[in-house]
């Protein structure tokens, strides 16, 4: 079945540094990838939608300069949290789809802790 690999699974970084999270579709080509943020005991909040080769579409309230998304190939999207602050600490989850009713495959998530 479809598999999405997300790396790293957890990361601790110092305030002010940047962190990159990778999301790879291992056995299919993902035309679209989505990035979500999940707070403890809460739902997944969509941050942005990225299509291969084009700029990401950010949801209202999400700072595009802080959460840089790159979708350079059909199998890889990256989320870079720039100048991270403790309030950016969260669980980040990516999802990939080929569209056309195929459905969505989710990565295992990245726990980011900013100290």
Residue from 96, 88, 94 nearest 108 by CA: 94
Of the two residues 44 and 76, which places its CB atom closer to other proteins in the complex?
Answer: 44
- Quote the least distance from Cβ 75 to other proteins, whole Å: 16
Cα 82 from Cα 25, distance rounded (Å):
24
- Quote the least distance from Cβ 63 to other proteins, whole Å: 18
Of the two residues 30 and 81, which places its CB atom closer to other proteins in the complex?
Answer: 30
Binding site for other proteins (CB under 8 A): 31-32, 34, 36, 41-46, 49, 93, 95, 97-104, 106-109
Of the two residues 78 and 97, which places its CB atom closer to other proteins in the complex?
Answer: 97
- Quote the least distance from Cβ 43 to other proteins, whole Å: 5
- Quote the least distance from Cβ 66 to other proteins, whole Å: 20
């Amino acid at each position: 079945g479809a598999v999405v690999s997300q790396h790293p699974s957890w990361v601790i970084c110092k305030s002010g540094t940047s962190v990159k999270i990778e999301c790879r579709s291992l056995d299919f080509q993902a035309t679209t990838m989505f990035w979500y943020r999940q707070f403890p005991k809460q739902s997944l909040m969509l941050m942005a939608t990225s299509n291969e080769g084009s700029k990401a579409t950010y949801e209202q309230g999400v700072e595009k300069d802080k959460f840089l998304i790159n979708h350079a190939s059909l199998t890889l999207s990256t989320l870079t949290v720039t100048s991270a602050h403790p309030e950016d600490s969260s669980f980040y989850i990516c999802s990939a789809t080929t569209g056309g009713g195929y459905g969505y495959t989710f990565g295992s998530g990245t726990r980011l802790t900013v100290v």
